[in-house]
Amino acid sequence: MAHPNAGKLVKKEDLINVDALIAAYYNDKPDVNIVEERVVFGTSGHRGTSLKKSFNETHILAIAQALCDYRKTQEVKGALLIAKDTHALSTPAQLTALRVFIANGVECIIAANDGYTPTPVLSFSVIEANKSSKELCDGVVITPSHNPPQDGGFKYNPSNGGPADTDATSVIEAKANEYIKNNLEGVKSVSEEEALAKTQEMDFITPYVKALDSIIDMKLLQQSKLKVGVDPLGGSGIEVYKKINEIYGLHLDIVNDKVDPTFSFMSCDHDGKVRMDCSSPFAMASLVSLKDKFDLAFANDPDFDRHGIVTPTGLMNPNHYLSVAIWYLFQNRPLWSKDLKIGKTLVSSSMIDRVAASIGKPLVEVPVGFKWFVDGLCDGTIGFGGEESAGASFLRKDGSVWSSDKDGIILNLLAFEITERLKKDPSVIYRELEAEFGVSYYERSDAVANAEQKAKLKKLSPSDITSKTLAGEEIEGIYTNASGNGAAIGGLKVTTKNGWFAARPSGTEDIYKIYAESFISPEHLVRIQEEAKALVLSVI
């Protein structure tokens, strides 16, 4: 059940105290003997808040030095491109990291004029830099993505431009915690003044925007008479949309151009918290309320790696839009190789499977996390990689790599291209897909599990499952490794002809997540969910 404040403007008394947050960042010291205060690289880097001693100057000093050490082992000697978003802790963390990087002799480049840089722009910039650089360049994105205003995040993107894999992050994480345990002994640093004096600045945004016509039909958009609204949700890409209007002469209506670290303009999410999740109808309530004013509207989270598409019928479900984007792209990119594959995470809708089969394209199903698409996007074998949490990227019109991290900007502009070319918006197209392939009933829910049970769930094998049926249908597949690349799921997926469920333990809470889908009915979905819980409990 939704919180009473869900969808309502955040109350003044619930806004964060930015001064207290930043003071805690510098003054509070974590204890590595407390699990919650250690450096932990999840699917998208280390995240936490200074108020709980999980994202403090100590963490960033240690992570930055560990990253310098790791770069040496990988012989990465080129420039380190550093992006930050609009969260209050992002600027202090950038300053801290620069002090360490410069002390270690790393060539650092940040956005000009203390600007903000979206995750996809950083990924694009790393890829572009490595086309001409004599030494390999890599990147850092300082962002907790859509997380609440009090959070901070630190993510490493190696020379392929995409999110680092666990081989890299496990090494950096372990070394960072070792530095903290030893009171930062061995961590080099200089003063902020020296760090800034030796750091280069660059306009990351203009080259990215100028190149957009290589991936989106910008000429088509220039001719459009559609009314299109944009809400950057106070994020790092406000200047991107302004630059798009400037360079291409578009008339995107930027309905909110405020940057406010308290995010006071946000509507509360389903649980009453402030969360800049552009796939949440509660967080997106202000833009959804303007749907009748526009033919199409879209938004992004603070680091712009996620997309949110609003049509006259409301906010599109991310799974629905991914299905439409795939259906459209593989039929409207004539220069793409006929051998290109479609990438999806195993908890994304099976509507994608049905669309892929209808257009004769092979599907690569991978575990949760965009890092699994990086190699395929970089070598041009995956045309589109997407995950259920509104994150995706795809290739340029000529089939070459654009970004190897999620790009909410191109997904939003693609919705504009689709609507203009086909004279119908993506939600209309999705209803046509439903008419052809069936209606999907999809939901993610949580179930209680203690640490021991979560550990068992993570290490299951298909032979542990003895059930032959799920919600009245014969079980066709049981997976603890992804079918597309053989990588461990860290949980379980069970499939039937018209339904499936996947169960994965949470990394931060005493729960496991159940993703389920039915192509029969809402009642069938409930049966899948209930039987999934019983089945999981029987083996953990």
For 167, the 3-state DSSP assignment is helix
Residue carrying the six token digits 């439903």: 434
The string of DSSP letters for 199-250 reads -EEE--HHHHHHGGGGTS-HHHHHT----EEEE-TT-TTHHHHHHHHHHH--
**Cβ atoms < 10 Å from Cβ of 506:** 12
Task: Indicate which residue of 44, 123, 125, 145 is catalytic.
Answer: 145
> Residues 184, 103: contact at Cβ < 8 Å?
no
44 in active site? no
Give the closest residue to 240 by CA, choosing from 293, 302, 333, 317.
302
**DSSP notation for 1-50:** ---TTBTSBPPGGGS--HHHHHHHHHH----TTSGGGS--EETTEEEEEG
Residue 444 and residue 517: Cα distance in Å, rounded?
Answer: 9
DSSP H or E run through 302:
none
SS3 367: coil
DSSP single-letter state for residue 273 = S
> Three-state SS for 294?
coil
Strand 382-387 with 45-49, pairing: unpaired
Beta bridge partners of 342: 363, 384
Other CB atoms within a 10 A radius of the CB of residue 315 amount to 25
Q: 109, 202 in Cβ contact below 8 A? A: yes
Tokens of residue 502, six digits: 């996947």
Q: Any residues with CB less than 8 A from the CB of 504 and at least 6 apart, and which?
A: 347, 368, 457, 489, 490, 491, 492, 512, 513, 515
- Largest Cα span, the chain: 67
Instruction: Report the candidate in 445, 441, 494, 446 with the shortest Cα–Cα distance to residue 470.
Output: 494
Residue 218 has which token pair?
């910008």
Give CA–CA dist 518/331, Å, rounded: 27
CA-CA distance, 463 to 479, in Å (whole number)?
10
Tokens of 146: 């859509």
Q: Which residues are catalytic?
A: 145
